[in-house]
A = this chain, B = another copy of it.
Amino acid sequence: MGRYNNVSISVIRRLPRYHRFLEDLLNKGVHRISSRELAQKMSLTASQIRQDLNCFGGFGQQGYGYNIDALYAEIGKILGLDKGIKCVLIGAGHLGTAIGRHIPYESYGFNLVGVFDADPRVVGGELRGLTIKHTDEIENFCKLYNPKMAILCIPKDTTLEVVDRLYNCGVFGYWNFTQVDLQLFYDDIVVQDIHLGDGVMTLCYLMNEHGIPGEER
């Protein structure tokens, strides 16, 4: 089905990071880099970089290094950032509003086409040029616009009910900020769980293990 079926997920997860570093170099006016220099910048090994990029055909020339413009464009194409997959934001509270406003969706392969909330005080407001609709309208909206991805910024209790409805409308990608582990409930969806609480609890653990200076243990 896919174009790069044999590429491991760990390589894929590194691609956005390459994309980010290459963009940074382009912004600084750098257009060519050796795998060794790039490796240094990213704290990887040159051979890992060559291996990673070879999964997709390889873009380097011995003795010349990588053409950053070409490599950047190609990684963008591999990631599919030119596709503009239609997505909806569910939940326009504090977090939803920030995620709605903060993310340059167009640069990341998405096109935000709808925003929904269950709170009548929020419905009718505006976010990123879109009028916030009531979650009751999800089905009608999906019939018209056919979004494929949903960003979930809703309370835990309502998550599964909302996802069930979105799923039945053909939404199969989820950027999930709720506390629910969505992957446990569906086999045939694609999920990025952002469990902010898990991350900050891990940070708490690591800081305590590191030892808080000035405190007795």
- The complex places the Cα of A183 from the Cα of B103 at a distance, in Å, of 23
The listed residue (B20, B41, B184) touching A197 by CB distance below 8 A is B20
Size band of the A side of the interface?
A: 35 or more
The listed residue (B2, B99, B109, B197) touching A201 by CB distance below 8 A is B109
Chain B residues positioned under 8 Å from A170 (CB to CB): 213
A204 within 8 A of B: yes
- The complex places the Cα of A72 from the Cα of B217 at a distance, in Å, of 22
A173 adjacent to B207 (CB under 8 Å)? yes
The interface bits of chain A over 156-194 (1 if a CB of B lies within 8 angstroms of the residue's CB, else 0) are: 000000000000001011010001010110000011101
A201 adjacent to B16 (CB under 8 Å)? yes
Q: For chain A residues 194-214, which have a beta carbon within 8 Å of chain B? A: 194-214
A79 within 8 A of B: yes
Stretch at the interface among A58-66, A80-88, A134-142: A80-88
Min distance, Cβ A14 to any Cβ of chain B, angstroms = 9
A130 within 8 A of B: no
Tell me whether A43 and B184 are in contact in the complex, defined as CB-CB below 8 angstroms, given that A108-B204, A190-B203, A192-B203 are known contacts.
yes
- The complex places the Cα of A84 from the Cα of B200 at a distance, in Å, of 12
Chain B residues positioned under 8 Å from A175 (CB to CB): 199-200, 203
Chain B residues positioned under 8 Å from A81 (CB to CB): 201, 204
A12 adjacent to B207 (CB under 8 Å)? no
Name the 3 nearest CB pairs between A and B, nearest first.
Answer: A98-B98, A109-B204, A80-B208
The residues of A with any CB-CB pair to B shorter than 8 Å are 1-5, 12-13, 15-17, 19-20, 41-43, 78-81, 83, 85, 93-95, 97-99, 101-105, 107-110, 146, 148-149, 170, 172-173, 175, 179, 181, 183-184, 190-192, 194-214, 217
